[in-house]
Amino acid sequence: MTISKDIAPTRLELGDTSVDLRPIERGDRDAILAFAQSLPVHDLLFLQRDIRQEKVVSAWIDQTEEGGSIGSLLAVDAEGWIHGCTALVRDRLSWSSHVADIRILVGVNSRSMGLGRLLAMHCVDQAMAEDVEKLTVQMTPDQEGALRMFEELGFRPEALLRDQVRDAAGATSDIVIMALNLERYASTRTVYSL
């Protein structure tokens, strides 16, 4: 996967730390597991799978290498610590092959610094390069900062799935699904020279 530099930079300053965006690699498994373990479990509920499990991360890396997803990026500092990650997932064999799903996680200490927005912008850019027509993103309704950020990028709420996910303690949470029509998004960018 090539990282496009058309929309957003590939380096970001997070306070005193610089992070670089780069594609996921086979050797990242242990760092991804450590990153996932550092996140509150509630932050992981929107994912289809629990990335705190070694077999899940290995499958994610395999799927990325085999082209099963459009791309996965990591935001990594000089010491190799992951501050955020994203996956842009598209099933080319499904009835919804024109749709891709964005999955973004940002470390607790790296939030409210622009990293989530940078990762989202790269996902949108990559989706447009892959001729995706519609992007979706899922999250729990209490993730107000993420909801606001995606709305600012042009995503609109499409569904609220009540009691859709259940954590290990048995507590359920709702899931909000937001979507962005990329043809309209591209037209807006053209009109406003973005």
| In a domain? residue 132 | yes
- How far is C-alpha 193 from the chain's CA centre? 25
| In a domain? residue 2 | no
CATH no. for residue 23?
A: 3.40.630.30
| In a domain? residue 26 | yes
| In a domain? residue 130 | yes
- Domain total for the chain? 1
Residue 184: which domain range?
11-191
| In a domain? residue 146 | yes
Gap between the Cα atoms of 94 and 50, Å rounded: 23
Per-residue HEC secondary structure of the chain comes to CCCCCCCCCCEEEECCEEEEEEECCHHHHHHHHHHHHHCCHHHHCCCCCCCCCHHHHHHHHHHHHCCCEEEEEEEECCCCCEEEEEEEECCCCCCCCCEEEEEEEECHHHCCCCHHHHHHHHHHHHHHHCCCCEEEEEECCCCHHHHHHHHHCCCEEEEEEEEEEECCCCCEEEEEEEEEEHHHHHHHHHHCCC
| In a domain? residue 3 | no
Q: Which of 18 and 69 is assigned the larger pLDDT? A: 18
| In a domain? residue 4 | no
pLDDT at residue number 31: 94
The tally of CA atoms less than 13 A away on the side-chain side of residue 85 is: 26
- How far is C-alpha 1 from the chain's CA centre? 15
Q: What is the overall mean pLDDT for the chain?
A: 86
* Structure confidence at residue 2 as a pLDDT band (50, 70, 90): very low
Region 158-186: mean pLDDT is: 91
pLDDT at residue number 1: 47
Structure tokens at 52: 């705190």
Q: Which of 133 and 67 is assigned the larger pLDDT? A: 133
| In a domain? residue 5 | no
